[in-house]
Amino acid sequence: MSTIFLIISTISFIATWGIHMLVKNGVFGYHSYLFVPWKCAIPWISGYGLAVIPETILLNISWYWVLLINIPITIMLGFWSAKIILRWFASGKGVELDMIISIIVGVVFLAIGLWVD
């Protein structure tokens, strides 16, 4: 059961990066957070850093190998998961809030996945 929670956590972290890249490519128009460097760093940390934690637990290999494996996974899965999450679970209050919700969902599912195991 914890495997399912960890997979959902990974997808949520990667979707945050995907949403950011869709915003950066102009799919959703102008957003002011793009001009604040630390706000732009949060999706990168989420997609490439936080996603490594549940992947390391799932794959049971060393974190630096998972970090290298995570790069193509994030690139391939990021846009796909972002479009699905925004289509099904969008709040309607802007993509910035949707990214925050995605990170929070990822952290909650990671905590549940670690607690259940």
Tokens describing residue 8:
């959902």
> What pLDDT is stored for residue 88 in this prediction?
80
Residue 45: alpha-carbon gap to chain centroid:
9
| Cβ atoms 82, 21 nearer than 8 A | yes
Residue-level pLDDT at 47:
93
For residue 105, which of 26, 50, 64 has the smallest C-alpha distance?
Answer: 50
CA distance 100 to 92: 13
How high is the pLDDT of residue 29? 66
Count how many domains the chain has: 1
**pLDDT at position 117:** 67
Determine the residue type at 22: L
The segments of the chain whose pLDDT lies below 70 read 29-30, 91, 117
In terms of residue numbers, what domain contains 62?
Answer: 2-116
pTM: 0.89
Q: How far from the centroid of its chain's Cα atoms is residue 96's Cα?
A: 13
- Give the model's pLDDT for residue 54: 95
